[in-house]
Structure 1
Amino acid sequence: MPLPPQVTDLTSFDLLLSVARLGSIGQAAAEHRISQPAASARLRQLERRLGLTLLQRTPRGSVLTPTGALIADWARAVVDAADSLAAAVQALRISHESRLTIVASQTLAEYLLPAWLVALRARHPDLTVTLQAANSADVAARLLADRADLGFVEGPDLPPGLDADTVAADRLTVVVTPTHPWARRRRGITPAELAATPLVSREAGSGTRRALESALRQQDIAALAAPLLELSSTTAIKHAVAAGSGPAVLSSLAVSTELAAGTLTAVPVSGLPLHRQLRAVWLAGRRLTGPARDLHAIARRPR
């Protein structure tokens, strides 16, 4: 049931209490940081809404009428309760903004977020940050369950209920051990060869795997061969490829060190665009505030 309109303007009741305490509309106006004419107008509006005379105005100041004193006594508890509510909300907001829970797909969690969090720490030195690594499907699920403040994904698709914004670009790279036959193919391989070859892969639902499947579908290739191995971390995949298990498709961010060192070799794929967008994601309709907003801004900065 909505509040009666006569009592919804707590500011006017608070102003009345100030007049009762200070004995002057002018002093009450100064305390509320408004002009005396504005304070007088607000109090007259309150009297009209209530249909009661609350103040007796004299050349020496203003005093509450008996009716005004009674209204002030009743209003004091309401105004005090509103102050308590405001203080509690502020404390809750400060407490919430002192913690930040992030969930990110592995490539972002391992190769980009550490530097972003260092920059965030410079802005919020007392902030407690929890970073959870998960595949892109799990990132979306945790956000939809309201178990994180902000997410980052590399997958091409998102379920309804999330807003997203591109923060960085990435490229997928086919990698093999230098002794693999593909390493000697100067022209690389075709998309069909890649799709027909069992790969060392992340689990279904990972952003990298979904991005590769999406790129192949654009070439009218319906499905990948069954994985040679399914491993839950990028590091494990790199070790398996280096040991000669088979090819893998990984983020260029994840394999730059190994390619530079020569422990892995990149294989071009003719006619297959393997670029993808990395995105920040959050609950649809929720405005990013505080540290979450700042981290989003940091992630969007040109590199």
Structure 2
Amino acid sequence: MSEKEGRVPPGGALAHRVPDLGALELLLAVARLGSLGAAARELGITQPAASSRVRSMERQLGVALVDRSPRGSRLTDAGALVTDWARRIVEAAEAFDVGAQALRDRRDSRLRVTASMTIAEYLLPGWLLALRAQRPDTAVSLHAGNSTVVAERLLADQADLGFVEGVSVPAGLDSAVIAHDRLIVVTAPAHPWARRSRPLKSAELAATPLILREEGSGTRQVLDAALGGLARPLIELSSTTAVKAAAVSGAGPAVLSELAVGEELATRRLVLIPVEGVTLARDLRAVWPTGHRPVGPARELLSLTRG
């Protein structure tokens, strides 16, 4: 067999030669009901539209399929044969649809979320409660880690949707900005910085050992980039809650998300330290593997974050 003889027809050629499912379903209804008008009513279309669809199918196949008369519509011999083939095609399409729905149901039965610590602790609980109201049967699992871990889990297909707060989007991921945040410097009230009359200089902040998140965290990345480098950490901790607790205890100054310290500032367990010469604003992003836009529950959760 030559290469030309064994070649599969170009994609889309079959679709031009075979009637669409709607036309085949109409032909089956005519065979079952014996009337083009009755078939049209069952399928929710007008009789002229049904007639036009049958004529189009006859032109496409090059044979007459239906004999029309005042007493009703009767399949021609060719029409009866085509109807047998159509029945098998429609049954296969129905099986395909059932299988595809089963895949969607399996996909929609769970949602795996991974998020950096600040988002996981202070924003995601509200979003997930709202999602549960919309999808009570979807089981949600949440893994919290730094921005590097979020990227790793998404790229390893261990999560359906992620959230990060770093300087840039990790390689291999697409993103959408869902919120904005600001990092602030805080200390316990007894710390000398709390009695300053002037804002802290950015250079002094950069040179001071701080209570910091671990390397790879979004907070650490933003602070390092904004200051052009950091002193060796006073303490290095793996969660926002732990950093906040250390600062409240008086261990030293910390840089935290404004989202995380509202209550502590209001009750004076922490004090805001103004800083000049640097902007510590950052974008919070939803992320997912490049080219794989969120679908199902992940898409709904993404929509809720923007609401």
TM-score interval w.r.t. the shorter chain?
0.7 to 0.9
Runs of 4+, deviation exceeding 4 Å:
284-290
Q: Does 1:123 align with 2:134?
A: yes
Aligned equivalent of 1:110? 121
Aligned equivalent of 1:237? 243
Aligned equivalent of 2:203? 192
**More deviation, 75-84/133-142:** 133-142
User: Cα distance, 1:161 vs. partner?
Assistant: 4.3
Return the alpha-carbon distance in structure 2 between the equivalents of residues 180 and 155 of structure 1.
29
TM (norm. structure 1) is 0.87
Return the alpha-carbon distance in structure 1 between the equivalents of residues 276 and 64 of structure 2.
86
Aligned equivalent of 1:59? 70
Aligned equivalent of 1:84? 95
Return the alpha-carbon distance in structure 2 between the equivalents of residues 251 and 63 of structure 1.
75
Return the alpha-carbon distance in structure 2 between the equivalents of residues 123 and 10 of structure 1.
33
Return the alpha-carbon distance in structure 2 between the equivalents of residues 73 and 7 of structure 1.
14
Q: Is the 8 Å Cα contact of residues 19 and 60 (structure 2) preserved in structure 1? A: no
Q: Which whole-Å deviations, capped at 9, do the CAs of 1:75-110 have from their partners, x for residues lacking one?
A: 211110101111222232234234322221111111
Aligned letter for 2:128? L
TM (norm. structure 2) is 0.86
Q: Which whole-Å deviations, capped at 9, do the CAs of 1:163-212 have from their partners, x for residues lacking one?
A: 33332222212222333332322324211121122222112111111111
Q: Does 1:167 align with 2:178?
A: yes
User: Cα distance, 1:45 vs. partner?
Assistant: 1.9
Return the alpha-carbon distance in structure 2 between the equivalents of residues 68 and 8 of structure 1.
13
Q: Is the 8 Å Cα contact of residues 182 and 188 (structure 1) preserved in structure 2? A: no
Q: Does 1:276 align with 2:287?
A: no
User: Cα distance, 1:285 vs. partner?
Assistant: 4.3
Which of 23, 26, 45 lines up with 1:12 in the alignment? 23
Which of 38, 50, 60 lines up with 1:49 in the alignment? 60
Q: Which whole-Å deviations, capped at 9, do the CAs of 1:274-294 have from their partners, x for residues lacking one?
A: 222222233444444544343
Instruction: State the aligned residue count.
Output: 296
User: Cα distance, 1:34 vs. partner?
Assistant: 1.5
Aligned equivalent of 2:3? none
Which of 248, 266, 271 lines up with 1:265 in the alignment? 271
Which blocks of at least 5 consecutive residues in structure 2 are unaligned? Answer: 1-7
Aligned letter for 1:67? A
Aligned letter for 1:248? A
Q: What secondary structure does 2:150 align onto?
A: helix
Aligned letter for 2:176? D
Aligned letter for 2:287? V
User: Cα distance, 1:244 vs. partner?
Assistant: 3.9
What RMSD, in angstroms, separates the aligned Cα atoms of the two structures?
A: 2.3
Q: What secondary structure does 2:89 align onto?
A: helix
Which blocks of at least 5 consecutive residues in structure 1 are unaligned? Answer: none
Return the alpha-carbon distance in structure 2 between the equivalents of residues 185 and 291 of structure 1.
49
